[in-house]
Structure 1
Amino acid sequence: MAKEAWSALNGGHSRIEMKQVERHGDRSVLRFYLTNPGKEPDHYSFGTSIAGSAFGNLHFMLVDPVGQKAYTPLYDDNGNGKTVGSDLFVTSAHPGARYETILAFPPLPESLDRMTVITPTTAGEFTGVPVVDGQGPVKPTAPAPGLTDKPAPGSRVAWPVRGLDSPAKGGVHDLYGITEGDVKSTTTSGSEEKVGLRADVLFEFDKATLTGRAKTVLDQVAAETKAKADPAKPPVLITGHTDGKGTPEYNISLSKRRADTVLKELQARLGTAYRYQAEGKGETEPVAKENGPDDEKARQRNRRVEISYQIKQRTTETSTTTSREEQERRGGTAGPPAPFRPDGRTVAGRSATFGAGKGDKRRIDVKPFYRDGAYLVAVFDIVNLGPDGGPGPTENYSSSGGGTFGDFTVTDPTTRTVYRGVRMGEDGGDYIDPGWSAFRTEPGTGNRGFFYVPAPPQTVKSVTFNAGPFGQIPDVPVH
């Protein structure tokens, strides 16, 4: 499995060839190869900042798309230093030679047999990378050339290594996906779920009295809670929220009364197998900024009741072997990890103009989207049509800081459910995307982009791509 890649801050043009992830006791090791396809020696960098590039760090990431976890590299100096493994800081890559590269990560669950590797390059994601038991010590299997050596094209060599025996620390993070509909929004990780119900749907205005529509909504939420919530990990927490109108004292009271009402309704449907807890937060935890251009929409989003609980755990092995037919029968969204796949043909394209008065144009070429475990992967190219040398190497497509492509979303055209970018940690700023949106800036060149969103139900065969400044692109096929 190999892809051509460009990396940030003039990090170079490379061919990345993934081999495997290996278990080695207290750590895991990603093993892959880098080849310089050019005609001259080149220095490589795979950092996501100037500092990361300067020190030759390899900011790759491992993703378990079924267990919904992300693993970040081990850093030496007990987590405060550089990435553990190959050191690309000084050595040049000579054309045509295959440079064996290793990068250490925290240990992985025994049930994993395939993972996705996220690279901070235009190559993006490598799905279906095998996970195997490591053999022998953690080190490259090829020799490292000297600084003055010139490995021949086709030869296999290795970079120097660092930090293999020093105290090191890496990260294991829950991945959170967000879906939003007219009635509810859902934030889900592999271990917990939070369902936000629109208060305007549940309650009469300024009251804790349920509307006629509320029964159907709460029936559905109760069924989902029964299917997903783990009674052994209480409580089912019900939290009321209001908008910013009214006094803090009144809002706390109203939000608590609404939470109590929902608690009673869930308890009547679910019984005593679960322990429940209700609280009111008033306007203290808004999810949207009020007094902005969409003030009323923001207030509507902030008026909500949230139901959160710990999810019953299934092993990744069980999840990955679930058949497509069984998934569709359940109406589920999670499937097996995706195999490695090249990008498909362009299925749609849109152009947009950027830059005040300059008239810089770019075109987005959309590829078929595909499923990877619990997620949908949106794939596209962004081509600079000129006349200037933008987009810049640090430019992104997010007006809210929500990842490189934070203004991009996916919509199920039937239910109008919106799927937003998957992020690391409930409040995390890191998203499952390339890190930076553009690496090549010359007119006529393009950069591959991608981002992960929660997968829609298996019955959804096409979606609408909301591509920010490029507009809405309907009927994008889902493979």
Structure 2
Amino acid sequence: MALAGCSGGGEQKPASHRTAAEKPKPYTGPMAKDAWSSLGGGHSRIEMKQVERRGDRSVLRFYLTNPGKEPEHYSFGTTIAGSAYGNLHFMLVDPVGHKAYTPLYDNNGTGKTVGSDLFIMSAFPGARYETILEFPPLPASLDRMTVVTPTTAGEFTGVPVVDGQGPVKPAAPVPDFFDKPKPGSQVAWPVRGLDAPAKGGAYELYGITEGEVKSTTSSAAEEKVGLRTDVLFAFDKATLSARAESILDEVAAETKAKADPSKPPILITGHTDGKGGHDYNMSLSQRRADAVLKELQARLGTAYQYKAEGKGETEPIAKEGGPDDAQARQKNRRVEISYQIRQRTAGTGSTTSGGQQADPGGDAGPPAPFRPDGPTVASRFASFGQGGDKRRIDVKPFYRDGAYLVAVFDIVNLGPDAGPNELEDYSTSGGGPFGDFSVSDPSTRIVYRGVRLGKDGGTYVDPGRASFRHDPGTDNRGFFYVPAPPPSVRTVTFNAGPFGQIPNVPVR
């Protein structure tokens, strides 16, 4: 069924079904996936081994195998320059502690990734190439992590974290440049920068949830709750409505459970839309912030310190003046409540089944074990552009990884053309390659959006833009992380952008 423009529909009956109540059998095979990567990366098989603690740094150790018939040059950079350098732009994710780590780069962070140098030689078919990549140091409490690759293999969950033994170098021999390792042999790439000054990144992961009354942006360290002033106040007024009482009761209970009194203040910030004069907007936003402060203080008492600020129209979160002007203005009219989250100390918080310390907010499950994708549970078709290029999305069961939900799917290009860049069709609103995609809880209508690195990060926990093939007949595995809904939620709605809404996706 062809669709006009960028619309969703055309359901295909899945090949198999699994209800939300059914649990997949434990997986006992290797942590391995086939992968495609662009920018000359080619087809590979990636098998994870472990992450090692090495004092002031960490080492990811894995294997690459060429499943083809001819020698292959591999690169896992996310830019043309990174590809030329043979960079490995992998990422480590602590899904319980809400943290992400990017590789060490030599020359104090301005050079190349530290570890295996894939640029020097090609991989011969069937040989198993030991690969290492260095990262910043990790917390001692971690025993499992997720490794994110910029390929169609995507994420590898449940990778063990161990104390490293011996020198930081490959255990397998490095062949000479003109050697041709035989299929089944184990060799290693040459390495670079192991002892040079290097720098990597460690980031808080921020998740966004949006409801009809409030939105929440949270990490392990802080939380910001945005309340719609259209619900709290009458138009142009600073007197709280009757409905605001119950809303603030809920916010106060959540704040009391999470906010750290030793890290003041609880900050209440008022915002308006762009209509009206600046002085008037500043005054209105300040009065509204003061009104919310007074109500929170009445509920929370003097154990906390408070501060109210009015920002007027100066810090919009949505662009006004476009086709969605009314919706943008509604988003900009808000009162935000932000605070530092109370950190649990060792021995006082719950731990996961593997002994890993639970997250500070206490709402994360254990890290997910490694396992293959489940069966297709739903399919949709969509057509794009004037030529009617057709694609199909095959949705897999979603799953929980610590504090997050992982949305998994395949996108198949049915042709007739490749198009200039098919990813643009899924990210018109920004937010990674799948910015138009989200997940929602049908019972509460809360929407869960892509998890990003840092407060204002442009990097998301997804495959990035380096992994996708565009030729007709090719398929690509996609995924992205969103904040996990409550444990009681067993099915969700997948808001799949141009493919439409796909209900009843099981969560395993």
TM-score class, shorter-chain normalisation, is: over 0.9
Of 407, 427, 450, which aligns to 1:398? 427
Any gaps of 5 or more consecutive residues in structure 2? Answer: 1-30
Contact 2:127 2:181 in 1 (8 A): yes
1:236 corresponds to which residue? 266
1:85 corresponds to which residue? 115
> 1:359-382 deviations in whole A, cap 9, x for unaligned?
110000000000001100000000
> 1:175-219 deviations in whole A, cap 9, x for unaligned?
110000000000001100000001011112211101010110000
2:486 corresponds to which residue? 457
Matched, 1:386 2:415: yes
Distance in 2 (alpha carbons) for counterparts of 1:332 and 1:199: 29
Contact 2:79 2:466 in 1 (8 A): no
Distance in 1 (alpha carbons) for counterparts of 2:322 and 2:422: 30
2:43 corresponds to which residue? 13
Of 207, 211, 217, which aligns to 1:177? 207
2:194 corresponds to which residue? 164
Contact 1:95 1:153 in 2 (8 A): yes
Distance in 2 (alpha carbons) for counterparts of 1:299 and 1:87: 50
The one-letter amino acid paired with 1:410 is V
Distance in 1 (alpha carbons) for counterparts of 2:340 and 2:396: 36
Any gaps of 5 or more consecutive residues in structure 1? Answer: none
Shift of 1:437: 7.2
Contact 2:430 2:436 in 1 (8 A): no
Residue 88 to residue 438, structure 1, CA distance change in 2 (3 Å): closer
Distance in 1 (alpha carbons) for counterparts of 2:476 and 2:346: 33
2:92 corresponds to which residue? 62
Contact 1:67 1:316 in 2 (8 A): no
Shift of 1:401: 2.2
Contact 1:381 1:448 in 2 (8 A): yes
Distance in 2 (alpha carbons) for counterparts of 1:39 and 1:390: 29
2:163 corresponds to which residue? 133
User: Any residues of structure 2 matched to 1:90-105 within 5 Å, and which?
Assistant: 90-105=120-135
1:321 corresponds to which residue? 352
Aligned-pair Cα RMSD in Å: 1.6
Give the 3-state SS of the residue equivalent to 2:263 in structure 1: coil
Residue 362 to residue 333, structure 1, CA distance change in 2 (3 Å): farther
Matched, 1:469 2:498: yes
Distance in 2 (alpha carbons) for counterparts of 1:283 and 1:91: 56
Shift of 1:165: 0.5
Distance in 2 (alpha carbons) for counterparts of 1:88 and 1:437: 17
Residue 322 to residue 13, structure 1, CA distance change in 2 (3 Å): closer
> 1:84-137 deviations in whole A, cap 9, x for unaligned?
000001210000111000000000000000000000000000000000000011
Residue 414 to residue 27, structure 1, CA distance change in 2 (3 Å): same
2:8 corresponds to which residue? none
Matched, 1:370 2:407: no
> 1:405-436 deviations in whole A, cap 9, x for unaligned?
00000010000000100011111100111002
Contact 1:71 1:171 in 2 (8 A): yes
Shift of 1:293: 1.2
Of 470, 482, 492, which aligns to 1:441? 470
> 1:348-368 deviations in whole A, cap 9, x for unaligned?
000111122x11100000000
Shift of 1:395: 4.7
The one-letter amino acid paired with 2:411 is I
Q: More deviation in 332-341 or 123-132?
A: 332-341
Distance in 1 (alpha carbons) for counterparts of 2:416 and 2:73: 29
Residue 424 to residue 315, structure 1, CA distance change in 2 (3 Å): farther
Contact 1:332 1:458 in 2 (8 A): no
User: Any residues of structure 2 matched to 1:32-51 within 5 Å, and which?
Assistant: 32-51=62-81
Distance in 2 (alpha carbons) for counterparts of 1:91 and 1:382: 32
Matched, 1:146 2:176: yes
Give the 3-state SS of the residue equivalent to 1:219 in structure 2: helix
The one-letter amino acid paired with 2:116 is S
The one-letter amino acid paired with 1:371 is R
Give the 3-state SS of the residue equivalent to 1:364 in structure 2: strand
Of 406, 426, 429, which aligns to 2:455? 426
User: Any residues of structure 2 matched to 1:350-365 within 5 Å, and which?
Assistant: 350-356=380-386, 358-365=387-394
2:332 corresponds to which residue? 302
Give the 3-state SS of the residue equivalent to 1:237 in structure 2: strand
4+ long deviations beyond 6 Å: none
Shift of 1:319: 4.9
Q: More deviation in 137-146 or 331-340?
A: 331-340
Contact 2:152 2:476 in 1 (8 A): yes
The one-letter amino acid paired with 1:463 is V
Shift of 1:55: 0.7
> 1:60-93 deviations in whole A, cap 9, x for unaligned?
0000001101000000001110000000012100
Give the 3-state SS of the residue equivalent to 1:94 in structure 2: coil
Distance in 2 (alpha carbons) for counterparts of 1:53 and 1:458: 41
> 1:378-403 deviations in whole A, cap 9, x for unaligned?
00000011112347476561012211
1:217 corresponds to which residue? 247
Distance in 1 (alpha carbons) for counterparts of 2:339 and 2:58: 31
User: Any residues of structure 2 matched to 1:259-274 within 5 Å, and which?
Assistant: 259-274=289-304
Distance in 2 (alpha carbons) for counterparts of 1:136 and 1:82: 24
Distance in 2 (alpha carbons) for counterparts of 1:455 and 1:396: 25
Distance in 2 (alpha carbons) for counterparts of 1:195 and 1:47: 36
The one-letter amino acid paired with 1:464 is T
> 1:155-186 deviations in whole A, cap 9, x for unaligned?
11000000001000000001110000000000
The one-letter amino acid paired with 2:472 is P
1:342 corresponds to which residue? 372
Shift of 1:441: 2.6
1:292 corresponds to which residue? 322
Give the 3-state SS of the residue equivalent to 1:257 in structure 2: helix
Residue 123 to residue 15, structure 1, CA distance change in 2 (3 Å): same
Give the 3-state SS of the residue equivalent to 1:213 in structure 2: helix
Of 106, 123, 141, which aligns to 1:111? 141
> 1:228-251 deviations in whole A, cap 9, x for unaligned?
001111100000001111110000
Distance in 2 (alpha carbons) for counterparts of 1:310 and 1:261: 21
Normalised by the size of structure 1, how large is the TM-score?
Answer: 0.96
Identity of aligned residues (%): 80
The one-letter amino acid paired with 1:321 is T
